[in-house]
Amino acid sequence: MVYTNKVIRSVNLDGETICVDIFLRPEGTYGFDQFRRDPDDGRGWYSTGHHGEASLVTFDEVLAKAKTKVSWLSDAISE
């Protein structure tokens, strides 16, 4: 059986070439990572933040951690 993470929230920076995904792992922990895509490159999104190993218990914890690691994220999210 293949387990995949489920993206709970994706936040795009203006221009939609950079984003942060907050995801839920199959075992119930949360994580996040920053991704980039180049419109002229058909390969799609790739990790630029390399934060995917972070493992937190709640959505609120992972969102707070992501905001400390990704400089533009706090300004992009209006809560």
Classify residue 15: in a domain, yes or no.
Answer: yes
Classify residue 78: in a domain, yes or no.
Answer: no
Q: Which residues pair with 6 in a beta bridge?
A: 24
pTM for the whole structure: 0.85
Classify residue 79: in a domain, yes or no.
Answer: no
Classify residue 76: in a domain, yes or no.
Answer: no
Range of the domain at 19: 6-71
Classify residue 1: in a domain, yes or no.
Answer: no
pLDDT digits (tens, 9 = 90+) for 12-71: 998 889 999 999 999 999 999 999 998 887 788 888 888 888 899 999 999 999 999 999
Residue from 17, 8, 9 nearest 46 by CA: 17
Strands of the sheet with 46-47, listed across from one edge: 6-12, 18-24, 30-36, 46-47
Total structural domains in the chain?
Answer: 1
Q: For residues 59 and 63, what is the distance between their CA atoms, to the nearest angstrom? A: 6
Q: For residues 59 and 16, what is the distance between their CA atoms, to the nearest angstrom? A: 23
